[in-house]
Structure 1
Amino acid sequence: MKRIAFKMFLNEGCKEEYIKRHDEIWPELVILLNESGVLDYSIFLDEETNVLFGILKCNNELAYENLPLHPIMQNWWKHMKDIMQTNADNSPKSIKLEEVFYLQ
């Protein structure tokens, strides 16, 4: 199982709305993520910089990499684009993070 980490960028003043939207995450998105092999997914916020840190486990890398093609994922991005920095396709601007240490 692969561990994947990345960072994204929340717009200033949007913490509460970001939390609210994730508290109300769409059931169909949860199903899609689960069906795509995404497990144990967490997002942390560094309030000093408004940087979001995501970490997840994935047991199907191909399905995970195809998530951006799915309409549910694309609609979620549209739903979130007003509170995050995004790319032209509405996906969140994100940077993959390299794992340099892991203690089991």
Structure 2
Amino acid sequence: MPRVCFTLQVRQDRMAEYVERHAAVWPEMLQALHDTGWHDYSLFLREDGLLVGYLETPDLAAAQAGMARTDVNARWQAEMAEFFEELDLPPDQGFWQLSEVFHLEDQLAALPPQSPSSTQTPQDQ
């Protein structure tokens, strides 16, 4: 499933409240995210306010459009917008998406099968 990583900048004076709000996200928001294709969704916050988000979804545009059709998302985004610096769009549309340049499991899966003797280390021989 495609992986998505993005960043936003949380205002440093609002970081504690941002963390508190995400410790108990509204149940209807959680369900809407799940129902619209946001899987394995995580947020990470650095001490300077850099927020990194990660999710897996078959289609990010469809997942975003699905959320845009929900009332709960409109309410959540309106409340969350004040936590971010330099954001002209709702947070779920204004993030900076990062390009994936490496994924261990993808590269391991692409390796040709090896015979048991070719995987031995010098100590094994």
What TM-score range do you get, normalising by the shorter chain? Answer: 0.7 to 0.9
CA contact (8 A) 1:10 1:51 kept: yes
Deviation of 1:63 after TM superposition, in Å, equals: 3.3
Matches of 2:3 and 2:34 in 1, distance apart? 15
Return 59-68 or 4-13, whichever deviates more. 59-68
What SS is found at the alignment partner of 1:80?
A: helix
Partner of 1:96: 97
Query: Which consecutive unaligned segments of at least 5 residues does structure 1 have?
Result: none
What SS is found at the alignment partner of 1:99?
A: coil
Q: Which has the larger radius of gyration?
A: 2
Give TM-score scaled by structure 2 length.
0.72
Partner of 1:5: 5
Deviation of 1:70 after TM superposition, in Å, equals: 2.7
Report the structure, 1 or 2, having the larger helix content: 2
Report the structure, 1 or 2, having the larger strand content: 1
Q: Which has the higher contact order (CA 8 A, sep 6+)?
A: 1
Aligned length: 101
Partner of 2:56: 57
What SS is found at the alignment partner of 2:16?
A: helix
What SS is found at the alignment partner of 2:52?
A: strand
CA contact (8 A) 1:9 1:51 kept: yes
Matches of 1:46 and 1:83 in 2, distance apart? 14
Matches of 2:9 and 2:69 in 1, distance apart? 22
Query: Which consecutive unaligned segments of at least 5 residues does structure 2 have?
Result: 106-125
What SS is found at the alignment partner of 1:43?
A: strand
Partner of 1:75: 75
